[in-house]
Amino acid sequence: MKPIRIISIYSFLVIYIMLSCQLCHEFAYAESELTDIKLFSHRGFKTKYPENSIESIKFLIKAGVHGVEIDLRTTKDGHLILMHDETLDRTTTGNGLVREKKWTDIQSVNLKGSDGIKTSLKVPDLANVLSVIKKYPLFELALDLKAVDAVIVAKMIVEADMTKQTQFFIADPLNTKLAKSITRLHPDLRITVDMLGWWKIEDVPLFAARALDTNILFASEWFFPKRGFKGLKEEGISVIVYLWGNHQLEQRFQRAAKLGASAVSCDDPLKLLPLVKPLQK
């Protein structure tokens, strides 16, 4: 019986060591999945500053966040400004439709904070934002084209020599005309396509990425596919996911990482910054 007992103990030790090594490997891989994810801040950093403000962008860069998503609209006289809504009412001390206001009208109003209180900050234009971000080549800019001429914006990005740090958000995967109008201007211009509910149909995202000649797709949290995004990652396609609100943000971030997301956009990236490698300015 003694030899059998010795063999049993030996076998147990071997199995224990093998399982321990496997667990260590899986833990290291999971940690790597988290630390390598990029963080984008949605509409500037609206938990601390007025949304889409240039001051919020400067803060994000200093904090070590990897990028920012901003919204663009066009004034009556063709000026490109940062504004999410069609009207000035919610986010500024002004009122009325942006498209009916001249740039001088926009300059006369002040931005409001998330609490609706007037601040001393002003509505920025795209040219000013580009001049700030260009100084930090590793910081990325995601442009949500609310109401603008995409070709004009793309030309500004090319002229500013910021093609490699800028991506254009396409809200409709069927809007191939918009996507092509951007990518045909310069080989380094990048588009990010929101696949919406198409994520639920197997292989459609991969087909769409190839058809639109993009290597970046966007997924809102409520459309996450059960299989995740790792298959796309193996095909060289990155996936940016949006996490709405702040409820259990860290747990939801970890879920996105496990599914294979390459970047996360949210309203409060500072909560997640300790989990990733910050931007090296």
The pLDDT assigned to 281 comes to 72
Residue 135: partners with Cβ closer than 8 Å, 6 or more residues away: none
Residue 72: partners with Cβ closer than 8 Å, 6 or more residues away: 80, 81, 82, 83, 126, 143, 144, 145, 146, 147, 148, 153
- The H or E element containing residue 242 is strand 238-243
**Contact criterion met (CB below 8 Å) for 169 and 145:** yes
- 280 falls in which pLDDT band (50, 70, 90)? confident
- Per-residue DSSP letter, 102: -
Residue 61: partners with Cβ closer than 8 Å, 6 or more residues away: 133, 136, 139, 279, 281
Tens digits of per-residue pLDDT, 169-179? 999 999 999 99
**Contact criterion met (CB below 8 Å) for 50 and 119:** yes
> The domain 38-275 belongs to what CATH superfamily?
Phosphatidylinositol (PI) phosphodiesterase (3.20.20.190)
Task: Specify the 3-state DSSP secondary structure of 98.
Answer: helix
- CB atoms closer than 10 angstroms to residue 196: 15
Q: What is the pTM of this model?
A: 0.87
Spatial distance between the Cα atoms of 75 and 104, rounded to a whole number of angstroms: 10
- 19 falls in which pLDDT band (50, 70, 90)? very low
> Looking at per-residue confidence, does 218 or 9 come out higher?
218
> Looking at per-residue confidence, does 9 or 103 come out higher?
103
Q: Token pair for residue 27? A: 């833990």
